[in-house]
Amino acid sequence: MMGTVSPRARTGPSREEKKAETRGKLLDAAATVFAQKGIAGASLDDVADAAGLTKGAVYSNFDSKEDLVWTLLEERLGQESLAIIPQVDSSHTQEEQALEAGELFMNLADRERDMFLLEYEYMLYIARHPEKRRKNNFTRRRDEVAGIIQAQAEEAGAQLPMPATDLATALFALGSGITLEWLVNPDEVPVDLFGRMLGVIFSFESQPAASDKQ
């Protein structure tokens, strides 16, 4: 009676699967908690509680608090902002694409506010501990965008006002700068400012030197 013990048939999840699930829960919880309280301000108890687990679970999956933070940043950060690129309709003009990309980016910042705050905190951490910098997500993303800008300019027969790499760097900086200011002063920063600025920066295309193609 009271068939509480019926481990037959259903093998249930394997140990490995359960561990992976726990790890995922911890990372999810860490993302929320760290972003809300800041990395230094959030304790492992906070993280474990938010995940419905105990601190021991953290130490069973990660070497230390720093390792947890590190893993979180490596695995979860910067993935989404890269995903913007394929969403932009490349058949539009460069200026239109700029507006679209700007809007997508601000939407992302709105949705993933926590992750953005984390990213800034991480940047400050790296600024203070340069030896912990890793092979750069930054350069990879930047070069990807630079390539797109370059290709667009060539196709349109327009001359870029500076090397595409520098332009891409500036775009990332503008995006993160606007987002940061917007997170701090939501009422003072129009959400479409980034898109409009991109439009201004890419307006060189509107008076191309020549249409000598074909």
Partner DNA sequence: TGTACATCAGTGAACGCGCGTTCACTGATGTAC
Using CA of residue 82, residue 86, residue 92, residue 96, what is the dihedral sign? negative
Q: How far is the CB of 33 from its own copies (least distance, A)?
A: 12
Task: Map the footprint of its own copies across residues 140-179, applying CB under 8 A.
Answer: 142, 161-162, 166, 169-170, 172-178
Closest listed residue to residue 177, CA positions, set 106, 128, 112, 127: 106
Binding partner of 36, given DNA, its own copies, none, CB within 5-8 angstroms per partner class = its own copies
Cβ proximity to DNA, 54 vs 107, nearer residue? 54
Residue number with CB closer to DNA (20 or 82)? 20
Partner touching 43 among its own copies, DNA, none, CB below 5 to 8 Å by kind: DNA
Distances (CA, A) of 133 to 74, 87, 127: 11, 30, 9
Contact with its own copies (CB under 8 A): which of 127, 151, 154, 209?
127
Torsion of CA 31, 35, 36, 41, to 10 degrees: 100
Residue 1 or 5: the one with the smaller Cβ distance to DNA is 5
| Residue 141 and residue 162 in contact, taking contact as beta carbons nearer than 8 Å | no
